[in-house]
Amino acid sequence: MTFSDKTVAKRRWRAMLYSLLAIIALAMILPSLGYVAAWAQSGPMVIGYESRDSNPRADMWRDARQSVAGTTDQSGPYTTNVLINNSGEIWREIRSGREGVPSPLKRFGGWIMLLSLAAIAVFFAVFGRNKIEGGREGLTVPRWTMYERVLHWFVAITFIVLGITGLSLLFGRTVLIPVLGARGFAAYAQVAMTVHNFVGPAFGVALVLMIISWLGVNIPKRVDLEWLKTFGGYFGGGHAPSEKLNGGEKLWYWIGVVGLGLAVVITGFILDFPNFGQDRATMALAHVIHAGAAMFWIALFFGHAYMGTLGTEGALEGMTTGRVDTAWAKQHHNLWYAQLLEQGVKPMPAEPPRGGPPPSAKSVTGSST
C-alpha cells in the first residue's frame, strides 16, 4: 500500500466514523427528549393504590371483584371508573383473536409475509440472478457517498432488530411459547419489548434523515413508467432506461420507506410515549396500524433485500464500497451513467479483489440500455 493509498484509506475510515457518530447522536439524542418528557410527567399508574406494598394491579382487581368503590385509573385521557373498556375488547380481538377465531391482524400479516417470500422464490426460479452482461469492465464510478451508506446500513440493521423483536412480541404466544415455555417467553418478551421501545425512536429519526437525503433522486419521471411497464425488461425482454434510481426503486422509496415507514414511525411514537394526552382508543388504533403497516413493509423489504443481493449481480457493492462497475452502471442505470460522463466523472480502475489479480480494465465510453 503506497503512502497516498494509506491516507485515502485513513480519510475514508474517519469519514465513516464521523457519519456514524453524527447519525447515532441525532438518532439517540432526539428521541431521548421524549423519554425525559415522559419521565417528567409520570405519576402513579393506579391512583389510590400507590401507598400499598403489594402489587397495585392485583389490589385493584381484588377490590373490583369484591365491589369496593374507588378510582380505578388516572383521570384525563384514561378511562375513569370504567371496568370493561369496549374499544379495548375490540382491539384485543383484532390483535389476539378469541376462542375459535384467529386474530385477523396476525392472519393478514403472516400471510402477506409468507406470500412475499414465496413470490421471491418463484421469481428467482424463473429468472435466476440478473448477471452483469459481458462481465465486469474493471472500472468503477461513484454511486453512494459514505454518509448515505452509513445511514442506509444504520436504518437496515435497526429495521431488522425492530422486525425480529416486533414480530416475536406479536406471534410469540403462538410460535415461541411452545419452544421457550411460558416463563422463558416472558423473560424474552421483556427484553424484546425494551429493545423495541428504545431502538424504535432512533430508527425513526434515521428514517426521516434517509427520506430527506434521497428525496431528490426519487422524484417520479415519465421514464420510470417505461421501466415499470416491463419491470426493467424482466417482462417483455430488452433493457428499460433508468436514471440513478429505476421505477421499482422509486416505488420502494415512496410506498415502503415514505408511506409505510412514516405510518409505522408515527404510530410507533404514539405508542412509545403515551404521555401526550392520547386516549386508549387512539392507542389501540395506533397499534393496529403500526403492526399491520410494519408487516406489509417487511413483505416489501424482502423484495428489496433480494434485489439488492442475490437478485442483481453488482448492486450490493455500490452500497458497501460506494462504487459500481461501469458495466453494471450502463446495464441498469444508463441515463445516470451518461450524465456522470457528461459531468466529467472519470471511471477509475476497481480495487483489486483480496488475494486475486485486478480485473482488466476494458473500454470506458458508450452507454447501452
Q: Is 319 in the site for ligand HEM (CB under 6 A)?
A: yes
Count of Cβ atoms closer than 10 Å to residue 276 Cβ: 12
Radius of gyration of the chain (CA): 26
**In the complex, minimum distance from the CB of residue 317 to ligand HEM, in angstroms, rounded to a whole number:** 8
Name which position in 24, 112, 156, 341 contacts ligand HEM (CB under 6 A). Answer: 156
**In the complex, minimum distance from the CB of residue 64 to ligand HEM, in angstroms, rounded to a whole number:** 44
Q: Is 257 in the site for ligand HEM (CB under 6 A)?
A: yes
Q: Is 16 in the site for ligand HEM (CB under 6 A)?
A: no
Using alpha carbons, select from 167, 159, 175 the residue that is nearest to residue 105: 167
Q: Exposed e or buried b for every residue in 217-250, given b needs 16+ CB within 10 A?
A: ebeeeeebeebbeeebbeeeeebbbbbbbbbbbb
CA distance linking residue 10 with residue 5, whole number of Å: 9
Name which position in 308, 314, 322, 359 contacts ligand HEM (CB under 6 A). Answer: 308
Using alpha carbons, select from 170, 169, 143, 56 the residue that is nearest to residue 325: 143
| Site size with ligand HEM, rule: CB under 6 A | 23
Instruction: Show the cell assigned to 340.
Output: 456522470
CA distance linking residue 7 with residue 344, whole number of Å: 24
**In the complex, minimum distance from the CB of residue 299 to ligand HEM, in angstroms, rounded to a whole number:** 13
DSSP string, 88-151: HHHHHHHHH-BTTB--HHHHHHHHHHHHHHHHHHHHHHHH--B--TT---SEEEE-S-HHHHHH
Q: What angle do CA 195, 200, 202 make, to 5 degrees?
A: 105
CA distance linking residue 151 with residue 338, whole number of Å: 27
CA distance linking residue 265 with residue 272, whole number of Å: 10
Residue number with CB closer to ligand HEM (71 or 145):
145
User: Which residue sits closest to ligand HEM, CB atoms considered?
Assistant: 308
CA distance linking residue 363 with residue 138, whole number of Å: 9
Q: Is 260 in the site for ligand HEM (CB under 6 A)?
A: no
Q: Is 249 in the site for ligand HEM (CB under 6 A)?
A: yes
Name which position in 31, 233, 318, 347 contacts ligand HEM (CB under 6 A). Answer: 318
**In the complex, minimum distance from the CB of residue 2 to ligand HEM, in angstroms, rounded to a whole number:** 29
Name which position in 252, 296, 336, 337 contacts ligand HEM (CB under 6 A). Answer: 252
Letters for 276-305 (x = contact with ligand HEM by CB under 6 A, - = none) are: -------------------------x--xx
**In the complex, minimum distance from the CB of residue 227 to ligand HEM, in angstroms, rounded to a whole number:** 12
Letters for 76-95 (x = contact with ligand HEM by CB under 6 A, - = none) are: --------------------
Specify the amino acid at residue 361. Answer: A
Residue number with CB closer to ligand HEM (56 or 322):
322
Kindly list the residues in this chain that would bind ligand HEM in the complex (CB under 6 A).
143, 152, 155-156, 159, 210, 214, 218, 245, 249-250, 252-253, 257, 301, 304-305, 308-309, 315-316, 318-319
